[in-house]
A and B are shown apart, each in its own frame.
Chain A
């Protein structure tokens, strides 16, 4: 267990962080270059104003007609994404581990808050899983990879919840928590989870085209 802990808290952390950073930058750069070569129109019509206007309407809950038409998925998606990003960055145990290693610390969540937010992420995963199975038009578009991705995202939260509550086998859960978190980080740039970095560009593109070309709203 000690050897596994050392790997999971040592070299694997570096592989995950560097792989994540290099993957994100590399894929964004590749897409930017490909677009310049194959689709230069993207650059010609790009407008920062229309791009930001579109992003703003899609980052505020219910600020688009699409979101107002589907309130349940809007609430689920916003709660899920906020908790998904905020919890790992501000969980007390994570901040303390960073502080231990690098003597850098930032604000952290109270444990009960992180606990509730973890449950919300797990419920969110269940919601998206059920949606993929139950809604016919979503099921039609789903592949096996989509289900694996839901499991990949849920894993660090399920194991974190398990080890935090110190249930049976919590030591194994603790190791699995670290490993699954690192795996998710590493997979972010190379799977559909890449929308984390891509969304401002897809939104920006749509916003620019609708704003400066079609003179219409895209929200």
Chain B
């Protein structure tokens, strides 16, 4: 009898932990506020503030593949997207430095901002010292 109680309590604890993890993950995904990528081992400039949902609403971007694109052999694969992947998975090859990843981010953001005459384009406009400092 006692052991059954123990098993039930253990299961309940596990369920609670699992639930907490799920909730945390969902919230974390839905509330992206900075540009993060594990490919940047050492940050040399302040982190970039980026309200994912607010940005896309303002910019009227409803197609995830606009940013989360997939390229194969230098050609963009229409209808495919890389949501959930880190940019560094493609934009940081083994024999290149982190500059390649920086380049991918800068080109993705700046090119669009310049095309639309909207959004930040200068260094300090994104890498604001009011955000978290460089590591």
Q: Are B114 and A163 in contact (CB under 8 A)?
A: no
The complex places the Cα of A93 from the Cα of B124 at a distance, in Å, of: 11
Q: Which of chain A's residues have a CB closer than 8 A to the CB of B97? A: 105
Q: Mark B92-129, 1 if CB is under 8 A from A, else 0.
A: 00000101001100110010011001100111110011
B106 adjacent to A100 (CB under 8 Å): yes
Given contacts A2-B118, A92-B44, contact A105 B99 (CB under 8 A): yes
In angstroms, Cα B123 to Cα A163, docked, is 9
Verify B114–A2 contact, CB threshold 8 A: yes
Which of A66-107 touch B at CB < 8 Å?
A: 92-93, 95-96, 99-100, 103, 105
Cross-chain contact of B117 among A3, A103, A163, A174 (Cβ < 8 A) = A3
Count residues of chain A with CB under 8 A from any CB of chain B. 21
Partner of B99, one of A5, A99, A163, A166: A99
Are A163 and B103 CB-contacts (below 8 A) given A2-B114, A111-B44?
A: no
* Neighbour of A171 across the interface among B44, B106, B110, B125, CB < 8 A: B125
Which A residues are CB-close (under 8 A) to B107? Answer: 100
Query: Is A6's beta carbon under 8 Å from chain B?
Result: yes
- Once A and B bind, how many residue pairs between them come within 8 Å at the CB atom? 47
Which of B103, B106, B122 makes the CB contact (< 8 A) with A174?
Answer: B122
Contact B122 A2 (CB under 8 A): no
Q: Check: A219 CB closer than 8 A to any chain B CB.
A: no
Majority secondary structure of chain A interface residues (helix, strand, loop or mixed): helix
Given the known interface contacts A99-B99, A105-B99, A166-B129, the answer about A6 and B124 at a Cβ–Cβ threshold of 8 Å is no
A58 within 8 A of B: no
Q: Count B-side interface residues using an 8 Å CB cutoff.
A: 20
Report the Cα distance A175→B102, complex, angstroms.
Answer: 22
Contact of A14 with B by CB under 8 A: no
Q: Which residue of B lies closest to A5 (CB)?
A: B121
Does A46 lie at the interface of the complex (its beta carbon under 8 Å from any beta carbon of B)?
A: no
A170 an interface residue at 8 Å Cβ cutoff?
Answer: yes
Closest to B125 in A: A171
A45 within 8 A of B: no
Residues of B near A166 (CB, < 8 A) are 124, 128-129
Q: Which 8 pairs from chain A and chain B are nearest by CB?
A: A2-B117, A174-B122, A166-B124, A100-B106, A166-B129, A105-B99, A170-B124, A5-B121
Chain B residues engaging chain A, CB cutoff 8 angstroms: 44-45, 97, 99, 102-103, 106-107, 110, 113-114, 117-118, 121-125, 128-129
Which residues of A come within 8 Å of B, CB atoms? Answer: 2-3, 5-6, 92-93, 95-96, 99-100, 103, 105, 110-111, 163-164, 166, 170-171, 174-175
**A-B contacts besides A5-B122, A100-B110, A174-B124, 12 pairs, CB < 8 Å:** A2-B117, A6-B114, A96-B102, A99-B99, A99-B103, A100-B106, A164-B123, A164-B124, A166-B128, A170-B124, A174-B122, A174-B123
